[in-house]
């Protein structure tokens, strides 16, 4: 069968992106103008707030999206199965244990809803400053959240968390490396904790940044899911893979539970461009290895910046950000940095309101941040 010949009035791919590029530039310019309105125009706006990968996705992921651009009128069921099979092959599990979502957040939220509903009034154990999607879902369903204080290194105190498990516990949520502190529980200790806790309750391990750790993939807890324990591991393509706006993430869990969760998430299918980009990125191991080096170098620059400023920060970050003590309320710090054209995260935590997470950016953005912090931290 001969391929369809494009009609004269159909846009070719290059022309499409010329037009799309103009629209994108206009939208970006107006958005930047709005965001930067109260700030000085002397320096460009540096966004160090969202733990994004400033270098973006791999060339292979970009090409995959281009190749599928004219097919966005078709649902991506075969491509989604292909991605699930690729993830399963990488992780050594069966495809029916893989749940794919539009990022890992919808999966975490759905799991929070599910387990809070299964145990009305149940307790989710977590830390005082961590990614909040799942514990807020539990609270919204009438559940309770037990925030166990960090240890003296601002890491999850897994021994104290284990001691809090009771008949009322519906699960434990642990983000490792943690967002926002960047700290990581040593792998052997983490594995021992998860193995023991899973005998008593479900353990949700958010591994959004795990591929940035030095001992990855050994640092992952997917082997415990594979072994049939009550463990769920969530991952995302938003960080290392540079696909934050494409929206794709996944979780590995027991097949029976995966079937229930998948049915809730997949209504209407998943975005084709995100699925094919994620599949291509997963296969591009050379790019992932290079990106890991780049992000680590960026993190080291942030640490060197904090050291040069004499600032306090959470030790041994293993993610693409550091957690800096600002000695002022979050609202004040955000405003002062924005006045110097630096965007930092606006989210604070009750026990850590005088701390802020600063993420990796381009070298010139980190230098700009350093210059701003010299002034801002003096005002505390």
CATH number, domain of 334, equals 3.90.1150.10
Q: Are residues 107 and 179 in the same domain?
A: yes
The confidence score (pLDDT) of residue 266 equals 66
Q: Are residues 65 and 197 in the same domain?
A: yes
CA distance 358 to 311: 13
Token output for 370 = 């350093």
b/e string for 277-303 if b means 16 or more Cβ within 10 A? bbbbbbbbeebeeebbeebbebbebbb
Q: Are residues 112 and 178 in the same domain?
A: yes
Q: Are residues 252 and 165 in the same domain?
A: yes
Work out the average pLDDT over 140-148: 97
Decide which of 247, 263, 283 is a domain's last residue: 283
Q: Are residues 48 and 133 in the same domain?
A: no
Does any domain span residue 1? no
Q: What would the pLDDT profile of 87-122 be if each residue is shown by its tens digit? A: 999 999 999 999 999 999 999 999 999 999 999 999
Work out the average pLDDT over 39-53: 82
The confidence score (pLDDT) of residue 39 equals 45
Does any domain span residue 240? yes
Could you please report the per-residue DSSP string of 161-226? HHHT--TTEEEEEEESS-TTT-----HHHHHHHHHHHTTTS-EEEE-TTGGGSTTTTTT--HHHHH
Decide which of 244, 266, 283 is a domain's last residue: 283
Q: Are residues 357 and 344 in the same domain?
A: yes
The region, left, alpha or beta by phi > 0 then psi within -120 to 50, assigned to residue 285 is alpha
Does any domain span residue 13? no
Q: Are residues 314 and 265 in the same domain?
A: no
CA distance 225 to 202: 11
In which band, very low, low, confident or very high, does the pLDDT at 355 lie, cut at 50, 70 and 90?
very high
Q: Are residues 40 and 64 in the same domain?
A: no
Does any domain span residue 7? no
Question: What's the total number of domains in the chain?
Answer: 2
The confidence score (pLDDT) of residue 44 equals 87
Does any domain span residue 236? yes
- Asked if 295 and 318 count as a contact pair (C-beta separation under 8 A), the reply is no
Q: Are residues 304 and 368 in the same domain?
A: yes
Asked whether the predicted pLDDT for residue 260 surpasses 60, the reply is: yes
The confidence score (pLDDT) of residue 25 equals 36
Does any domain span residue 15? no
Asked whether the predicted pLDDT for residue 303 surpasses 80, the reply is: yes
Q: Fill in the DSSP letter of residue 243.
A: -
- Asked if 362 and 54 count as a contact pair (C-beta separation under 8 A), the reply is yes
Asked whether the predicted pLDDT for residue 36 surpasses 60, the reply is: no
In which band, very low, low, confident or very high, does the pLDDT at 42 lie, cut at 50, 70 and 90?
low
The CB density around residue 28, as the number of other CB atoms within 10 Å, is 10
Look up the domain containing 311 and give its range. 36-57+286-379
In which band, very low, low, confident or very high, does the pLDDT at 12 lie, cut at 50, 70 and 90?
very low
CATH number, domain of 265, equals 3.40.640.10
Q: Are residues 99 and 139 in the same domain?
A: yes
The confidence score (pLDDT) of residue 41 equals 52
Q: Are strands 169-175 and 46-47 parallel, antiparallel or unpaired?
A: unpaired
Decide which of 283, 316, 332 is a domain's last residue: 283
* H/E element, 135: helix 133-140
* H/E element, 275: helix 272-283
Q: Are residues 49 and 63 in the same domain?
A: no
Work out the average pLDDT over 26-50: 58
Q: Are residues 91 and 189 in the same domain?
A: yes
Phi, psi of 8 (to 5 degrees): -65, -30
Does any domain span residue 28? no
Does any domain span residue 16? no
């Amino acid at each position: 069968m001969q391929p369809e010949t494009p009609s004269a009035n159909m846009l070719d791919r290059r022309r499409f992106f010329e037009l799309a590029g103009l629209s994108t530039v206009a939208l970006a310019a107006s958005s930047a103008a709005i965001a930067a309105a109260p700030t000085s125009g002397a320096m460009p706006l540096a966004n160090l707030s969202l733990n994004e990968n400033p270098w973006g996705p791999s060339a292979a992921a970009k090409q995959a999206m281009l190749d599928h651009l004219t097919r966005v009128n078709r649902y991506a069921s075969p491509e989604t199965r292909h991605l699930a099979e690729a993830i399963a092959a990488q992780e050594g599990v069966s495809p029916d244990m893989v749940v794919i979502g539009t990022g890992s957040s919808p999966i975490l939220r759905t799991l929070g809803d599910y387990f809070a509903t299964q145990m009305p009034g149940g307790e989710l154990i977590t830390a005082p400053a961590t990614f909040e999607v799942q514990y807020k879902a539990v609270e919204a369903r009438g559940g309770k959240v037990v925030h166990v204080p960090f240890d003296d290194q601002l890491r999850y105190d897994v021994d104290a968390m284990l001691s809090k498990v009771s008949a009322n516990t519906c699960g434990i949520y642990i983000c490792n490396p943690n967002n926002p502190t960047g700290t990581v529980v040593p792998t052997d200790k983490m594995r021992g904790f998860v193995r023991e806790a899973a005998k008593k309750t479900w353990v949700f391990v958010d591994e959004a940044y795990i591929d940035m750790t030095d001992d990855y993939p050994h640092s992952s807890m997917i082997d415990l899911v594979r072994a049939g324990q009550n463990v769920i591991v969530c991952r995302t393509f938003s960080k290392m893979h540079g696909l934050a706006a494409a929206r794709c993430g996944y979780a590995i869990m027991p097949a029976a539970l995966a079937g229930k969760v998948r049915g809730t998430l997949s209504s209407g299918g998943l975005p084709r461009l995100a699925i094919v980009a994620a599949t291509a990125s997963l296969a591009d191991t050379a790019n992932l290895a290079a990106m890991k080096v780049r992000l680590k170098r960026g993190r080291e620059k942030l640490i060197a910046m904090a050291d040069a400023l004499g600032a306090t920060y959470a030790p041994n970050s293993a993610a693409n950000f550091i957690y800096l003590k600002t000695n002022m309320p979050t609202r004040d710090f955000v405003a002062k940095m924005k006045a110097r054209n630096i965007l930092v995260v606006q989210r604070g935590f009750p026990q850590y309101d005088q701390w802020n997470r600063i993420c990796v950016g381009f070298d010139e953005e980190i230098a700009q941040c350093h210059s701003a912090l010299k002034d801002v931290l003096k005002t505390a």
